[in-house]
Amino acid sequence: MGEKDPQRLSVLWRAASMAAGWAVPGDWWTPAVEQTIRAVTGGQGLARACMALGDARARAGVGIAEGMTDLAALFHARGEAGPPLAALRSFASGWVEAELAPMADLRCEDPLTGLVGLAYLRTRLAEVYREGVARRHRLVVVTLTVTDAWDRIAAMLRLAALLREVFPRGETLVRLGPARAGALTTRPATRRLRQAGAVDVLTLPDRYGDALATLSLWA
C-alpha cells in the first residue's frame, strides 16, 4: 500500500533522494514537495502536483534528470517500484514550461539541449549585419510535429543532436521554442533534417530590425 503518513513520508522521501544523489540537501524542500506528498497520500491530484514540482525544480536550477530521480525516490520510499508514467510526464511538462518561461530567454544556452538561446541568436544576427554578410546567411528552422510533452522532450533532444551532425562547422544552433530549433548558416542543408520535422529556410531581410521582426514570428 505504501507509506501514508505525510510527515513520515516527507522524511523518508528526503532520505531516499539524498541517497540517490540529490546535489544540495538544503535546497530539497519546496512547497511543491508538500503538495506532491498530499497528492500521493490522498490519492488524487497527482498529475497537477507533479507538474508543480517540475516547475519548482526547474526554477531552482535542478536538471530534469536529477528532478526525475528525486520524484522516483518518493515512490521508492513508499515501497513502490517507481512513479507512474503519467506522473513523470506531468513532471516533465512542468519542468519544460518553466525552462521556457520568458526569463529563460536570457540564458546563453538552453539547459535541456545545449543549444543557444534567442538572446545569443539576436547578438549573432547583429554581428552578421555589421559585417555586411547577411545575404550569405539563411535561418533554417525545424518545427517538431509531436504534441505530447514527454515525446516532445525526447524529439527535441534528438533534433539538437541532429543539428550538430548536419552543421558541424561552428554554425549558430538555437532553440527557438518548446517545439522548434534551427541554425543560422551559410549552407542550408535540409535533407536529413526533414526526418525530424517540418523544415523552413528563411532568407534574412536587408535590415537587422526586420530580421528581429521575422525572428519573433518563429520564436
Predicted local confidence at residue 142, as pLDDT: 96
Predicted local confidence at residue 107, as pLDDT: 53
Q: Range of 52's domain?
A: 6-99
CATH number at residue 128: 3.30.70.270
Cell of residue 16, nine digits: 531516499
pTM exceeds 0.75 for this model: no
Q: What's the pLDDT band for 100 if we cut at 50, 70, 90?
A: low
Higher pLDDT, 199 or 25: 199
Quickly count: other Cβ atoms within 10 Å of residue 111's Cβ.
Answer: 16
Higher pLDDT, 17 or 58: 17
Of the three residues 99, 124, 158, the one that is the final residue of a domain is: 99
**Are 81 and 182 in the same domain?**
no
Q: Does residue 16 sit within a domain?
A: yes
Predicted local confidence at residue 59, as pLDDT: 85
State the average pLDDT for the chain: 89
**Are 28 and 117 in the same domain?**
no
Q: Does residue 1 sit within a domain?
A: no
- Across residues 28-53, what is the average pLDDT? 94
**Are 74 and 178 in the same domain?**
no
**Are 25 and 112 in the same domain?**
no
pLDDT in tens, 53-79: 999 998 888 888 899 999 999 999 999
**Are 12 and 113 in the same domain?**
no
- Across residues 92-119, what is the average pLDDT? 74
**Are 144 and 69 in the same domain?**
no
Number of domains in the chain: 2
Quickly count: other Cβ atoms within 10 Å of residue 96's Cβ.
Answer: 20
**Are 90 and 110 in the same domain?**
no
Q: Does residue 49 sit within a domain?
A: yes
- pLDDT of 122 > 80? The answer is yes
Instruction: Output the 3-class SS for the chain.
Output: CCCCCHHHHHHHHHHHHHHCCCCCHHHCCCHHHHHHHHHHHHCCCHHHHHHHHHHHHHHCCCCHHHHHHHHHHHHHHCCCCCCCHHHHHHHHHHHHHHHCCHHHHHCCECCCCCCECHHHHHHHHHHHHHCCCHHHCEEEEEECCCCCHHHHHHHHHHHHHHHHHHCCCCCEEEEEECCEEEEEECCCCCCHHHHCCEEEEEECCCCHHHHHHHHHHHC
Q: What's the pLDDT band for 1 if we cut at 50, 70, 90?
A: low
- pLDDT of 102 > 60? The answer is no
**Are 112 and 192 in the same domain?**
yes
Predicted local confidence at residue 74, as pLDDT: 96
- pLDDT of 49 > 80? The answer is yes
Q: Does residue 20 sit within a domain?
A: yes
For residues 125 and 213, what is the distance between their CA atoms, to the nearest angstrom?
12
Of all residues in the chain, what percent carry a pLDDT higher than 90?
61
**Are 28 and 60 in the same domain?**
yes
Predicted local confidence at residue 73, as pLDDT: 96
**Are 128 and 194 in the same domain?**
yes
User: Does residue 157 contact residue 175 with C-beta atoms inside 8 Å?
Assistant: no
- pLDDT of 34 > 80? The answer is yes
**Are 65 and 25 in the same domain?**
yes
**Are 19 and 86 in the same domain?**
yes
Of the three residues 62, 84, 99, the one that is the final residue of a domain is: 99
Of the three residues 99, 130, 147, the one that is the final residue of a domain is: 99
